[in-house]
Amino acid sequence: MRYLLMTAFLFLSLQASTGFISAEQLQKKLFDKKLILVDVGNRADYDAGHIPNAMRSEISAWRQPIELHQEMRSSADIQEEMQRLGINKDSQVVIYGHNNKKEALKSSYMALAMITHGLKDVTILNGAYGEWEDDEDRPISKKLTENPKGNFTAKFIPGILVNMQYVKAHIGKVPMLEARPAVFYYGTLRSSGVKRIGHIPKAMSSFWKDKFEIDGTLKEEEVLKEIIIDGYALDKTKEVILYCTGGLEASMNWFILSQHMHFKDAKIYDASLREWANKDNTPLVRYKWETFGY
């Protein structure tokens, strides 16, 4: 009996720690009292149909403009939004979009903000809302959800978000992955809102979308290992820094590495190139792929 209980506990722990939840898994726990569903889609899509009991959240509740870039809002702001969504300390949060532009990235950024402020159980719906509505037997609601105010207390966890000075000091010392498309990494095209072109020296190109299938579901574990571990020669026990244009794309790379692949020290440069590449005194290189040598 003890062996069976330990096996069951291990199975449930593994199931809860993959970072992504399937539509089938979500359906089985849909009316769990601890479950909080967060819909990141626009109001028109939400009104047209959403997963029952889901509440909408705007990305502006989690990010704020600072000069030419954006960064995560204050802990007080994050706590206020999490409580509005009905989140408590023991809540199980599932975030999803409607398969529109940037909604997958809004999901990962909100997850990053929640985890950075101490919430333990945060997952993203694998394949988003499209995967949910593919099965006609799954319920769909058009009702506006209003959860009772939650009691979650935000406690900022240091060591996940890093700033420009930290990145400067770790060039050539810590591997860095850039989440933009390769045309921006190599400086063939210019990212929106970025004055200078190129990438941070010794950073490696790792477009966030390469980790997903065409239907928006996450690639198989072995493929991700080939991309992340074998392709970039990364060590899951060591530090890695993620960045992109303005924080959203890198948040998905961060979420996959830290929550799905269980990297122990994945950090994210939130301001990313909308800060870095709009300065005149930060190093950028074009075309050349500089191997890190570790």
Same domain, 23 and 124: yes
In this structure, is residue 203 part of a structural domain? yes
DSSP letter for 285, please. B
Same domain, 111 and 177: no
| pLDDT attached to residue 289 | 52
Same domain, 186 and 269: yes
| pLDDT attached to residue 12 | 40
- Distance between CA atoms of residues 45 and 189, nearest Å: 32
Write the CB contacts of 34 (distance below 8 Å, at least 6 apart in sequence): 88, 90, 91, 92
- Distance between CA atoms of residues 241 and 127, nearest Å: 26
CA-to-CA dists, residue 105 to 3, 73, 117, 203, angstroms = 40, 17, 18, 21
- Distance between CA atoms of residues 290 and 288, nearest Å: 6
- Distance between CA atoms of residues 77 and 116, nearest Å: 13
Element (H, E) at 5: helix 2-16
| pLDDT attached to residue 54 | 98
Same domain, 95 and 202: no
- Measured over all CA atoms, what is the biggest interatomic distance in the chain, rounded to whole angstroms? 65
In this structure, is residue 266 part of a structural domain? yes
| pLDDT attached to residue 18 | 86
Q: State phi, psi for 207 to the nearest 5 degrees.
A: -55, 125
Same domain, 39 and 115: yes
Same domain, 29 and 91: yes
Same domain, 120 and 167: no
Cα angle 210-212-214, degrees, rounded to a multiple of 5: 105
User: Is the distance from CB of 117 to CB of 155 less than 8 angstroms?
Assistant: yes
Cα angle 157-180-132, degrees, rounded to a multiple of 5: 75
In this structure, is residue 53 part of a structural domain? yes
User: Strands of 92-96's sheet, edge to edge?
Assistant: 20-21, 122-125, 92-96, 35-39, 54-56
Same domain, 129 and 166: no
Same domain, 107 and 166: no
What pairs with residue 255 in β-bridges? Answer: none
Same domain, 129 and 165: no
User: Is the distance from CB of 53 to CB of 37 less than 8 angstroms?
Assistant: yes
Q: What is the pLDDT along the chain (294 residues), one digit of tens a residue?
A: 433 333 343 334 334 458 999 999 999 999 999 999 999 999 999 999 999 999 999 999 999 999 999 999 999 999 999 999 999 999 999 999 998 989 999 999 999 999 999 999 999 999 999 999 999 999 999 999 999 999 999 999 999 999 999 999 999 999 999 999 999 999 999 999 999 999 999 999 999 999 999 999 999 999 999 999 999 999 999 999 999 999 999 999 999 999 999 999 999 999 999 999 999 999 999 865 555 544
Same domain, 123 and 191: no
In this structure, is residue 290 part of a structural domain? no
- Distance between CA atoms of residues 16 and 280, nearest Å: 45
pLDDT single digits (tens) 8-55: 433 343 344 589 999 999 999 999 999 999 999 999 999 999 999 999
- Structurally, how many domains does the chain consist of? 2
CA-to-CA dists, residue 75 to 72, 136, 178, 184, 254, angstroms = 9, 40, 26, 32, 20
In this structure, is residue 213 part of a structural domain? yes
Residue owning tokens 């040598």: 293
In this structure, is residue 285 part of a structural domain? no
CATH of the domain at 253: 3.40.250.10
Residue-number span of the structural domain to which 51 is assigned: 18-133
In this structure, is residue 9 part of a structural domain? no
CA-to-CA dists, residue 78 to 124, 159, 248, angstroms = 18, 18, 16
| First-last CA distance in the chain | 47
State the number of CA atoms in the 13 A half-sphere of 14 facing the CB: 6
Handedness of CA 189, 207, 253, 286 (dihedral sign): negative
Same domain, 122 and 170: no
In this structure, is residue 147 part of a structural domain? no
